[in-house]
Chains A and B, each alone.
Chain A
Amino acid sequence: MLTRRDFVQAAGIGAAGALTSMIGARGREHAVWSLLEPTLHAVEPGIICLASNENPVGPGKTVLDAVRTAFGPTGAQPGRYSGAASALTEEIAKQFKVKTENVVLGCGSTQILRSATHLFTAKDKPLVGTIPTYEECAGYASMMGHPVTGVALDSEFRIDLDKMANAAKGAGLIFYCNPNNPTATYVGARATREFIARVNRESPDTTILVDEAYFDYVTDPDHDTHVPIAIENPRVLVARTFSKAYGMAGLRMGYAIGHPDTIKKMAEWDGGGGAGSLNVLALHAGIAAIGQPPDFTANERARNTAVRDFTMKWFADRGMKPTNAQANFMFVNIGRPVKEFREACKAKGVLVARDFPPFEKTHCRLSFGTMEEMQKAVAVFGEVLGKKVTARAA
């Protein structure tokens, strides 16, 4: 069992003492990694941002119209505390064919991840997560002084289910990010169901938080949501966000779906509605977004898949191996420290992601922009990576 300090050191990062305040002050996209690079700055016009797994297309007209409409006829409505949290909860429940008591909203999935970590970990009930994975839960657990157990990925950069299940014994919470950020790999629905059953059997008090942030981008045929399990099983919770396929990272809206007892505990600990943390524009945007016909996410998935295929092929053709990306980003072995690559790309107007130890000497996480952006970006990558990676196929 590792504490966060050990976890961080195991992951190859020093200066752990400065960690807690950093995480709190800067948040997960800065978190640990801000020790290694300066504070991120606003993206200048004309810069191609492939650093934050955002949807480059945005939420679309339906959602933006709903935001505008939420101003009210005279523009006074943003002055009111919003009562729309219950309406969004109903829309989400309808979409997933669950009850409103199965749904709790959060200020991004951040609030969801924090609440779950708060409720299910303790000084004697560790958090278990892969190394690397999305850092919010580990950061929060460490801030609370709760131990964090890091589990290495398998050779294909997927969650190692055996190792994870073994580490889970006696744990409070497993953070199961699938597809996993930053490695972009996906564990099939069947294997995940078996993993959940195994953890339930071997460690009945352990809760499994399945983060489906990138759900809509998966093309693996064995793909399914774990919402049906979560609503029946108090030891399973699914986190979702409007930040990815719905293109609303700027709005801050996420949610959890789970068993009514779990949801009630989450809401009681840090409920977000009304005068809480949820803004009125995001509530109305969420209602409009989730009410769209399913071809909205299907179209976004198809758009992303085309860009993903193009970008992965570009790297593969040049002998650089990406993981099997199932998200709106990829994790690729560029055979050199990311810092160097990142700075060189930045100088040419392309932003790529921060370091992800223990792979910061070899692997880069690249989010997918539009096809046009990626065509420009690969030209920059070609220049930066140099002649020795000239396409074999070309």
Chain B
Amino acid sequence: MPLSRRGFLRIVGSREEAFSGALIAARGLEAYYAEQQAPGARSRPVLPPGVEEIRINSNENPLGPGRLALDAILGKFPEANRYPFNSSPADTNLVDAIAAKYKVKPENVVLGAGSQEILKNAVRAFTSPERHLVTAAPTFENCTNTAKKLKHGLKEIKVDANFRLDIQPMIDASPGAGLVFFNNPNNPTATVHGAKTVADFVAKVRSLAPQAVILIDEAYHDYVTDPSYESAIPLALATPNVFVARTFSKAYGMAGMRIGYAIGRAETIKPLATLKMPYNVSVFGVAAAIASLNDPQHVADERERNTKVRDFTVQALTSLGCKPTESQGNFVFVDIARPAKEFREACAKSGVMVGRDFPPFEKTHARISIGTMEEMQKAVDVFRNVLRAATTTAGGKGRF
């Protein structure tokens, strides 16, 4: 008995509901503030009343899941008490639905509690003190941090002059590697490599490091508009020791639901299946993800919306004298010619939250996620003021 979005809003949108929502949200937020403002923690200012926070720091989809996904969750309320293998649909049905989307078998898919579980387990399974991780700098840090924590070998290759993954040095670093992490598009630099480059890269790494597993993380796949780009999933299915990580956190709008997956040849991803936490995706997550897979229009609309807002943001930043990279994600990486920390803290005072430091570019570049058009218009006004004020400060006269 699915509810329409309108029906959903009628249920949740009443004053009482909104009020309790605000209460819970406030409780969470307070805790968050407490955490952030604890000694030694990154502190963030408390906003003046009436100023709403614009959260463009985590590469989230600002609109969230589609109506069908929300309805699917509401429809599963009677099964909150069931384990995800007893619910209908069950977690195996989500594996089946993903397999069907790519015309592969269920054994080609492993579910993760977000793609973070896939990435962490890949490092645990495929690297060791002797078999290092090859990754980029900067890139999504999950693999890097896991390898450090385990004290496994690590080679970080700085991105090239255009902020793209630097192909040749990554190939050169691969002999003896256990795992090569290839984030395409790359977070935080937002750049992408085309299908042919990726295929050549894989072939070269495989010839130099036949034992290495290549993990191609396509978290931002749905946001790419570059025509030379294609998913590496067909390549992974055709090639031993290659697999692709995907997530429902980005274009599908379900970062809070924690659902990702690995897709590749069964023998390649078997160690991930072995390490997978049992029942790692909730009954609601399973239902919402299946509903989303049956709603390709939601992702298509999100890509179109993001492209429009990304174009606006890139243009606005360029007109402010900043230089963004060629963005293919739902975020931009932009040269603001000053430390990201300074920029971030100044923006936060006006309620605009932008991304963390990304060494080795923390002295020059900020990562800004793409919010709604309305949010980005407001954010650009804040950027303009902050950048202007900072310029004045540099002259010694600023108020900041």
Contacts and interface: CB of A to CB of B under 8 A. Distances in A.
A282 B288 CA distance: 14
A86 B117 contact: no
Given A72-B21, A83-B28, A287-B24, A277 B258 contact: yes
B60 A79 contact: yes
Given A51-B86, A75-B70, A79-B255, A24 B80 contact: no
A110 B277 contact: yes
A353 to B, nearest CB: 12
Contacts of B87: 42-43, 250
Given A64-B77, A250-B79, A28 B255 contact: no
Contacts of B32: 83, 86
Contact of B277 (A55, A87, A111, A243): A111
Nearest to B69: A78
A43 B65 CA distance: 26
A21 B64 contact: no
A268 interface: yes
A15 interface: no
Contact of B78 (A24, A58, A84): A58
Nearest to A89: B31
B128 interface: no
A95 interface: no
Nearest to B63: A76
A282 B130 CA distance: 39
A80 B149 CA distance: 27
Contacts of A69: 12, 17, 20-21, 24
A281 B82 CA distance: 15
A168 interface: no
Contacts, number: 249
B73 A287 contact: no
B58 to A, nearest CB: 5
Contacts of A56: 81
Given A143-B274, A279-B256, A81 B58 contact: yes
Nearest to B58: A81
Nearest to A114: B277
Given A59-B80, A268-B149, A78 B273 contact: no
Nearest to A82: B256
Contacts of A281: 73, 256-257, 282, 284
Given A73-B12, A83-B31, A287-B27, A107 B274 contact: no
In the complex, which range does the number of interface residues on chain B fall in? 35 or more
A360 interface: no
In the complex, which range does the number of interface residues on chain A fall in? 35 or more
Contacts of A51: 86
B90 A277 contact: no
A110 B17 CA distance: 33
A39 interface: yes
A58 B79 CA distance: 8
B274 A25 contact: yes
Contact of A52 (B20, B29, B31, B86): B86
A221 B20 CA distance: 39
B81 A40 contact: no
A351 B20 CA distance: 39
Given A59-B81, A86-B35, A252-B279, A42 B88 contact: yes
A247 B120 CA distance: 30
Interface string A151-179: 00000000000000000000000000000
A387 interface: no
A53 B206 CA distance: 48
Interface in B1-58: 5, 8-9, 11-13, 17-18, 20-21, 24-25, 27-32, 34-35, 55, 58
A134 to B, nearest CB: 11
A71 B8 contact: yes
A73 B276 CA distance: 34
A141 interface: no
Given A44-B88, A277-B280, A57 B81 contact: yes
B253 interface: yes
A27 interface: yes
Nearest to A139: B278
B64 A54 contact: no
B99 interface: no
Interface in A99-145: 107-108, 110-111, 114, 136, 143
B85 interface: yes
Q: Which among B58, B82, B90, B254 has the greatest number of chain A C-beta atoms within 10 A?
A: B82
B283 interface: yes
Contacts of A23: 274
24 contacts: A23-B274, A24-B274, A42-B93, A43-B82, A56-B81, A69-B17, A75-B12, A77-B64, A78-B65, A78-B70, A78-B254, A78-B257, A83-B29, A84-B28, A86-B34, A87-B30, A107-B280, A108-B277, A277-B113, A279-B256, A279-B257, A280-B256, A281-B282, A282-B282
Interface of B: 5, 8-9, 11-13, 17-18, 20-21, 24-25, 27-32, 34-35, 55, 58, 60-65, 67, 69-70, 73-74, 76-90, 92-93, 113-114, 116-117, 120, 149, 249, 253-258, 270, 273-285, 288
Given A68-B11, A73-B9, 11 more contacts: A21-B274, A27-B278, A29-B278, A42-B86, A56-B81, A68-B17, A69-B12, A78-B288, A79-B253, A87-B30, A279-B257
The 9 closest A-B pairs by CB, nearest first: A27-B278, A250-B283, A24-B274, A280-B256, A79-B64, A76-B64, A277-B113, A42-B88, A86-B31
